[in-house]
Structure 1
Amino acid sequence: MTVTTSARTQPATRRRRFTWTPYLFIGLAVLYLLLFAVVPLLKGLDLSFTNTRLLNPTAGKYIGFDNYDRLLGSGAFFKSVVTTLVYTAFTVIGSLALGTVSAFVINRFFPGRTLARAVMVMPWAVPTVAVVLVFRWIYNDSTGVANAATAALGLGERGWLTDPSYGMLSVVLATVWKVTPFVMLVVLAALQSVPEDLYEATKIDGADSYSTFKLVVLPFLLPTLRVVALLMTIWSFRRFEIIWLLTGGGPVDVTTTIVIDVYRQAFSNSQLGLAAATGMLGLVLSLIVTAVYFVVEQRANKQNGVNA
C-alpha cells in the first residue's frame, strides 16, 4: 500500500511598499533639463526663423529660412566655422598631449610630488578672468615676458594680440595652459586604476617599458582619453570667455569662432534672429562631432571584443 502525499507550499510573498522617492529625484532632474535646456533650445530654434532685433524683441516677424540662407551664403560664417575647428583641434591636441605627459610625470614618486601636483592643478582652479589678465601681461608689446624672451633669443618682438599671424597662437596657448590640469587629473586617475599585479607580471616576463605601456597601460588609458577628447572638443566649441577677453575675436577676426560670432550678432549688431540661426548651425556641428565620437567608440569596443 502506497500512500502519496503532496504538500503544496506557496512561497511567502512580501508586498513591496511603493515609494515615490526615486521618481521625485528623477522628476526634479527632468524638470531642470526642461526648464534650462529644452525650453531655451526650442525658443532659440523658434527665434532663428524670425528677424527679431535686440532693441525691439517683440516686433520680430517670421521670415522662414532667410537667416539660414544668409548664413550659408556668407563667407563670414564658414570662416568662423573653420576658425572654430582650428581652435578646437589645436586646443584638444595640445591639452591632451601636455596633460598626458604631466600625468605620467606626477604618477611617479619623487621628492616634492605632492607640492608639484598642487602647483600643476592651480591653472584649472584660477578664475578665467585672472588667467586672461596674466596672459595679457605676458603678451604685452612693451613689457611682456613673451617679447622679452623672443628678443633675448634674437627673434625680435611680436604683436601677440595685434598681429593676425599670432592671434590664434596666443589664444590657443592661454587655453591650453588653463585646461591642461583637468586632462592631467583624469589621466592620472586612469593610470592609478591599473592593477599592480599587471605591472609585476610584465616584470616577471621581462617586458621592457614600451611593452609594458603598450600591453598594460594603453588599454586602460584609451577609453579615458576618448572621453576626455570628447569633453574637450565640446568645451572648445562652446568656449567664449578666454577668446573674448583676450582678443575680442580679433585681430582681423582671426579668432572669431562661432560663439564669438553669435555674441557679436546678438549684442553688437542687435540681430537676435540671425544670432539664433548661427547658434543652431553651431549646435548641428557639435552634434556631428559627437556622433563621430560615438561611432569611433563603438568600433573600438567591437575591435576590443574581437581581439579578446
Structure 2
Amino acid sequence: MTTATSSKRPTGLIQLTPRRKRFRYGPYLFIGLAVLYLLFFTALPLLTGLQLSFKNTKLLNPSGGQYVGFDNYAALLGSGSFIKSVYSTLIYTAISVAGCLALGLASALVINSAFPGRALARTIMVLPWAVPTVAVALVFRWIYNDTTGVASQFTQALGIGQVGWLTDPQFGMAAVVIPTIWKLSPFVMLVVLAALQSVPEELYEATRIDGADAFTTFKQIVLPQIAPTIRVVALLMTIWSFRRFEIIWLLTGGGPVDVTTTIVINVYRQAFNNGALGLAAAAGVLGLLLSLVVTVVYFLLERRSNNANGEL
C-alpha cells in the first residue's frame, strides 16, 4: 500500500505578501500650489519691478521704455526728496515700532495677571486690531479736526491752543504715529501674551520662594523667556512699517510739507502722479533693499545671542 505524499503548506500561518508602496500625491500637490502662488504673486512681480527699475518707463506705456541702466537709482539717490523720504521712513518706523512694543508688552503683562473681568478686558483691548485701517484713518481725521476735533479741544483745555495736527509740520509725524500704535499694539499684545503664558510656573514659584519682587522677577525670569518672541515681533513690525501706506496716505497724503512722505508714498507719487514707472520701481527696489538690510541685521544679532547663550 503506497501512501502519496502531498506537499501541503502548514496551516495556521498567514502568508504575508509585500504590498506595493502607494505614491502619495497630496503633499506634493499642496507644496506645488504654494510654489505656484509664490512664483506668480511674489517672484514674478518682483522680477518685473526689478526690470522696470532699469528702464525709462512711463505709466501710459508700461511695456515700453528705453533701457537706462542705473540712471533711475542715481537720480533717486541724488534727489533730496527721496533722501528725505528715507529719513521719514526711518523716523516713522522707529517711533511706531517702539511704541507698539512698549504698549503691547505693558498690555500683555496686565492681561496676563488674574483679575475680575479679564476676558472682557482682553476682548476690548483686541478690538483696535480688528478695525479696518480705512475706518481708523477716518475716525482719526475727525479727532484731528482743527475746530471740532477731540484732540484740538484737549489741547485748548490744557492752554496749548489750537493745534493743526494734519496741517502743521511739527505735528505731522505724531498724527500718523499715534493711530498706528493704537491699531497695531494689540497684535503685539497677543503675541507677547502667548509667550508669557508659556513661561513655566516653576520659575515663578522659585522667585517667590527667594523673595524676589515683581520687577526682579520680570527682569531675571520673564524677560529672558519672552525675549526671542519680542525680537521676532520687532522684526515683523519693522518690515510692515517700511511698507505701510493706507493710514499715512488717508491721514496726511504725505504732508504736511512732505514730513510724512515715506518711501511707499514716494513710490506712489512717482508712479501715479508723475507717471514715471521706472523711478517708482527703482524706489521700490531701494525700499526692499532697506528691509533686507534690517532682516540681515536681525539674524546676525539673533545668531550672536544664541552663541552667547550656548545654543546651536
Under TM normalisation by the shorter chain, which class is it?
over 0.9
1:162 aligns with 2:164: no
Structure 2's unaligned 5+ residue stretches are 1-16
Question: 1:124, 1:19 → 2: CA distance?
Answer: 41
Rg larger in structure: 2
How far is 1:15 from its partner? 6.2
Hey, what does 2:129 align to over in structure 1? 124
Superimposed CA distance per residue, residues 32-70 of structure 1 (whole angstroms, 9 cap, x where no aligned partner)? 100000000000000111111112223311111111111
Q: 2:42 aligns with which of 16, 21, 37?
A: 37
Q: 1:134 aligns with which of 136, 139, 148?
A: 139
Match of 1:185 in 2: 190
Q: Residue 198 in 1 paired to residue 209 in 2?
A: no
User: Percent identity among equivalent residues?
Assistant: 72
Distance of 1:128 and 1:31 partners within structure 2: 29
Structure 1 unaligned segments of length 5 or more: list them.
Answer: 1-11
1:28 aligns with 2:33: yes
Q: Which runs of 4+ in 1 moved over 3 A?
A: 12-17
Look up the match of 1:79: 84
SS in 1 for 2:122: helix
1:105 maps to 110
Please tell me whether residue 265 in structure 1 is matched to residue 265 in structure 2: no
Equivalent position of 1:147 in the other structure: 152
2:57 is the counterpart of 1:52 = yes
2:226 equivalent to 1:221: yes
What count of residue pairs does the alignment treat as equivalent?
A: 296
Query: After the TM superposition, which of the residue ranges 224-233 and 294-303 deviates more from structure 2?
Result: 294-303
Instruction: Give the corresponding residue for 1:62.
Output: 67
Deviations 1:210-257 (A, max 9, x none): 232123211211001000000000000010000000000000100000
C-alpha separation in 1, matches of 2:62 and 2:22? 52
Determine the structure 2 residue equivalent to 1:7: none
Q: Secondary structure at the match of 1:60?
A: strand
Cα deviations by residue, 1:160-196 (Å, 9 ceiling, x for unpaired): 0000110001100011111010001111111111111
Q: Give the superposition deviation at 1:14.
A: 7.6
Provide the secondary structure at the position in 2 that maps to 1:305.
Answer: coil
Structure 2 length as normaliser, TM-score? 0.92
TM-score between both structures, scaled by the size of structure 1: 0.93
> 2:144 and 2:83 mapped to 1: Cα distance?
29
Q: CA deviation at 1:90?
A: 0.2
RMSD between aligned alpha carbons?
1.6
Question: What is the one-letter code of the residue matched to 1:41?
Answer: L
Determine helix, strand or coil for the equivalent of 2:56: coil
